[in-house]
């Protein structure tokens, strides 16, 4: 499992600093505030989950961190440097796998290396990434031939082959069936433990956040503000029937305004 980290050693976990970031969109002349003065520091190697109601602006925060958009107010820093453009050191995995349908699994995974002209030196990394997500037998398949879980594993491999220091995960398992979701959560956990990247996971699944993260940040409804932060110190693998787990789950749901569960 540790092939990625072992062979290259280029993975260097990055810190992410979000400083007083506010953001809004103008849609058809109406202003929509999505983020309201968010400040958050993610330490290198930390796994932080952003938890909040649907449509609260969590995904926008990830787009800002990826450098796909610039915030209207505030700054985002990667290891102290301001984030202004997308960079393969910070990779985004979407809710939809968004694989390129005209590329085979192998070529999808190769996209990042190819775009940066690293394919000649690092071609062997693709096979390693394929075995990392257990898709060696599907290297030459096209995305239409994959199940939802397989496609999302390809999306993970496509990101990880670039040795990102920061992995931004936008509800990556949101569209999968519950069994596939459980197994992929475990895989993600193993990948994080072995590879050592910093992870920022957006989700609205409280259990997912509690199973995976070191820290859970609860966001309010739109425009998103930080309501509360919970440090999760339990060892991995975590279990849903653990008393602490149940207590935290109740507290977080309470913060989200859901009671009597």
Partner 1 sequence: MSDLAQTADGRVTATSVTSPPIWYQGLVASVFWLLTAAVTWGLPDVIPWGSAGLFAAITAAGGIALLTLGLTRYRLGGLGDRIAVWGPWLIALGVWFLLWEFTTAKTGWLPKPFFSPPHGLLQVYVADWSRLLVCIGYSLRLWGLGFFSGISLGFVIGVALGWSHRFNYWGMPILKLIGPVPATAWIPATFFFFPTTFHASIFLVALSCGIPVAIQTAAGVSQVNRAYYDVARTLGANERFLVLKVAVPASLNHVFVGLFMGLYYSFAVLVVAEMLGAKYGLGWYIAFQSAYSAYANVYATIVIMAVLCSGIVKLLFVARDRLLLWQERGLI
Contact 181, 14 (CB under 8 A): no
> Is residue 37 within the footprint of partner 1 (CB under 8 A)?
no
Does position 189 interact with partner 1 (CB under 8 A)? The reply is: no
DSSP category for residue 116: T
114 binds partner 1 (CB under 8 A): yes
Per the document, the length of the chain is 261
Answer yes or no: are the C-beta atoms of 215 and 229 closer than 8 Å: yes
- Interface pattern 138-167 for partner 1 (x via CB under 8 A): ---xxxxx------------xx--x-----
Burial class (CB in 10 A: 0-12, 13-18, 19+), 102: exposed
What minimum distance in Å lies between the beta carbon of 155 and partner 1?
A: 8
Q: What are phi and psi of 96, to 5 degrees?
A: -85, 140
CB of 143 to partner 1, least distance (A): 8
Nearest residue to 37 (alpha-carbon basis) of 219, 204, 215:
219
76 binds partner 1 (CB under 8 A): no
The answer to whether residue 122 forms part of the interface with partner 1 (CB under 8 A) is no
Member of 23, 58, 90, 222 binding partner 1 (CB under 8 A) = 90
Q: By CB under 8 A, name the binding residues for partner 1.
A: 63, 66-68, 86-88, 90-92, 94, 96, 98, 100-104, 111-112, 114-116, 141-145, 158-159, 162
């Amino acid at each position: 499992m540790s092939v990625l980290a072992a062979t290259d050693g280029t993975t260097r976990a990055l810190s992410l600093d979000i400083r007083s970031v506010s953001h809004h969109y103008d849609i058809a002349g109406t202003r929509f505030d999505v983020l309201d003065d968010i400040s958050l520091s993610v330490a290198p190697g930390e796994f932080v989950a952003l938890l909040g109601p649907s449509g609260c602006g969590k995904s926008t925060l990830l787009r800002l961190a990826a450098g796909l958009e610039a915030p209207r107010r505030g700054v985002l820093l990667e290891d102290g440097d301001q984030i202004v453009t997308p960079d393969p050191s910070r990779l985004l995995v979407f809710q939809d796998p968004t694989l390129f349908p005209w590329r085979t699994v192998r070529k999808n995974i190769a996209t990042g290396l190819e775009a940066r002209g690293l394919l000649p030196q690092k071609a062997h990394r693709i096979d390693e990434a394929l075995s990392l997500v257990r898709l060696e037998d599907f290297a030459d398949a096209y995305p239409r031939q994959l199940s939802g879980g397989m496609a999302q594993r390809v999306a993970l491999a496509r990101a990880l082959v670039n040795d990102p220091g920061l992995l931004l995960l936008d509800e990556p398992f949101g569209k999968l069936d519950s069994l596939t979701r459980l197994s992929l959560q475990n895989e993600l956990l193993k990948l994080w433990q072995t590879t050592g990247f910093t992870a920022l996971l957006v989700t609205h699944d409280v259990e997912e956040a509690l199973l995976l993260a070191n820290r859970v940040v609860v966001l309010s409804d739109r425009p998103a503000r930080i309501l509360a932060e919970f440090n999760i110190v339990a060892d991995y693998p975590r279990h849903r029937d653990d008393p602490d787990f149940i207590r935290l789950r109740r507290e977080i749901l309470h913060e989200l305004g859901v009671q009597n569960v």
